[in-house]
């Protein structure tokens, strides 16, 4: 459950600012306004880089991104040539062995990190475990035996469930206590007993953008490292890990990075921590000399020590092809379009839908909003099912939250207008 109470149906939602150059109540022909905005969109051409169909408005990229058009051909090459013909030679000749670092550097640019700090592999859950246990071990190394002093792991209480499960296991493993705290309160709660802080950059349910700079600064003032979960922010907004001095970060690649179902996650290890990062999963791929096959584990230098087992090459190279669409993309333009799309959607739903039929739970303030809009309504599951039947694909979260993810690389204002109109129609037609 999110730490911020969700508004109940019938309450007044915060005022919504329209996109730049758009009135709060666009003309009756909203499609003309949407077309004008699409014509002025500097990212509009990128839509052609994805496999989309005209019959569907796809607003579930915050769960699974659309297929980049370059991926099928690249996978065919990997399977037919690199695996089918070169076979084991591809570990060296095709660069398979270094793919986790190479692709990690591609992702690094998208999360504000210098090269050499991101490694790709495993799932987000596995990487949360590695990062969080490693973070706690850093404080033990820095402060000596905790002796009951640094014995708490703080986690935002609205965290994605798996993060909470993993954090609980990490706490038991390291002799700590897990302390769930509302994300807004993490800066004030961090203190001398804090061994590490785990925070989601964007709340998966409400779309709220948490104050990562404030959390990081407060944790560091208390002498504790921060682990940031970027699953719902990387590829949707600038993150600036290096500038914020975040210690560790993890994230999936199948949402806004469009890497495909189950594509490998990534782990960011800040450069200054790499020599002291003690992974709880010391696999052979993270060994200094993996092919010596020694009985003792000697960690590799740099972020490579975050690797564990043999990388999942097919999905990893599909991800690499998917990331090519980001070449030359300005993240400031991505953020500006994200906010404009979500502003537009909120304004149009407010104008078109029956009063109080869909109450925003996503903050109106830009500084507190990710790239999704969550609306609370009764019969949310049935409403979403009907939206999908009519060609508008989002999702919902129990018990009553509709979620709509806006992916700036391929979501258009025309998509957004159609989605708002269809939602309004469904809400008007449902039984009372």
The set of catalytic residues is: 160, 229, 254-255, 403
d(CA 68, CA 323): 9
For residue 138, with 0-12 CB atoms within 10 Å meaning exposed, 13-18 middle and 19 or more buried, which class applies?
Answer: buried
- Tell me how crowded residue 2 is: count the other CB atoms within 10 A of its CB: 19
* DSSP code of residue 360: E
Calculate helix-pair angle for 161-174, 124-143, nearest 10 degrees.
40
The answer to whether 314 and 79 have CB atoms below 8 angstroms apart is yes
Q: How far apart are CA 62 and CA 324, in angstroms?
A: 19
**What does the block give as tokens for 422?**
């269809």
Q: Tell me the C-alpha distance between 214 and 222, whole Å.
A: 12
Cα separation, 150 vs 158, whole angstroms: 23
DSSP per position, 362-420: S-SSGGGB-SEEEEE-TTHHHHHHHHHHTTEE-EEETTTEEEEE--TTT--HHHHHHHH
Residue in the block written with tokens 């992916």: 407
Alpha-carbon distances, residue 321 vs 69, 119, 238, 317 (angstroms): 9, 16, 21, 6
Residue among 103, 385, 384, 113 at smallest CA distance from 241? 113
- Write out the two tokens for 314: 């097919």
Tell me the two tokens of residue 72.
């099928």
Read off the tokens for 326: 């980001």
Q: How far apart are CA 193 and CA 417, in angstroms?
A: 50
């Amino acid at each position: 459950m999110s730490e911020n109470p969700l508004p109940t149906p019938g309450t007044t939602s915060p005022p919504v600012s329209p996109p730049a150059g758009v009135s709060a109540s666009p003309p009756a022909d909203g499609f003309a306004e949407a077309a004008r905005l699409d014509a002025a969109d500097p990212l509009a051409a990128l839509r052609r880089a994805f496999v989309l169909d005209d019959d569907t408005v796809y607003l579930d990229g915050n769960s699974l991104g659309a297929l980049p058009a370059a991926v099928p051909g690249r996978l065919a090459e990997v399977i037919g040539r690199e695996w089918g013909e070169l076979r084991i030679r591809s570990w060296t000749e095709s660069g398979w062995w270094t793919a986790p670092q190479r692709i990690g550097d591609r992702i690094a640019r998208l999360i504000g990190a210098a090269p050499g700090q991101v490694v790709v592999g495993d799932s987000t859950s596995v990487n949360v475990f590695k990062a969080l246990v490693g973070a706690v071990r850093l404080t033990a190394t820095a402060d000596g035996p905790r002796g009951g002093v640094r014995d708490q792991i703080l986690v935002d209480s609205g965290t994605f469930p798996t993060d909470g499960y993993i954090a609980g296991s990490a706490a038991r493993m390291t002799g700590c206590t897990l302390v769930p705290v509302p994300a807004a309160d993490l800066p004030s709660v961090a203190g001398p007993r804090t061994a590490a802080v785990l925070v989601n950059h964007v709340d998966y349910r409400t779309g709220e953008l948490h104050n990562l700079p404030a959390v990081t600064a407060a944790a560091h003032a208390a002498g504790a490292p921060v682990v940031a979960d970027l699953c719902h922010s990387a590829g949707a907004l600038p993150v600036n890990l290096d500038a914020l001095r975040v210690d560790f970060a993890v994230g999936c690649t199948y949402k806004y990075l469009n890497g495909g179902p189950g594509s490998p996650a990534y782990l960011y290890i800040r450069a200054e921590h790499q020599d002291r990062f003690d992974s709880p999963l010391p696999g052979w791929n993270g060994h200094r000399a993996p092919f010596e096959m020694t009985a003792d584990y000697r960690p590799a230098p740099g972020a490579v020590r975050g690797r564990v087992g043999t990388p999942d090459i097919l999905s990893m190279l599909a991800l690499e092809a998917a990331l090519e669409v980001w070449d030359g993309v300005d993240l400031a333009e991505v953020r500006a379009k994200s906010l404009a799309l979500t502003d537009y959607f909120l304004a149009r739903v407010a104008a078109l839908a029956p009063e109080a039929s869909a109450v925003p739970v996503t903050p109106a303030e830009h500084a507190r909003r990710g790239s999704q809009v969550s609306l609370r309504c009764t019969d949310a599951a049935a409403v979403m099912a009907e939206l999908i039947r009519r060609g508008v694909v989002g999702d919902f979260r129990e018990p009553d939250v509709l979620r709509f993810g806006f992916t700036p690389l391929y979501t258009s204002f025309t998509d957004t207008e159609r989605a708002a109109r269809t939602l309004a129609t469904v809400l008007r037609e449902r039984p009372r």
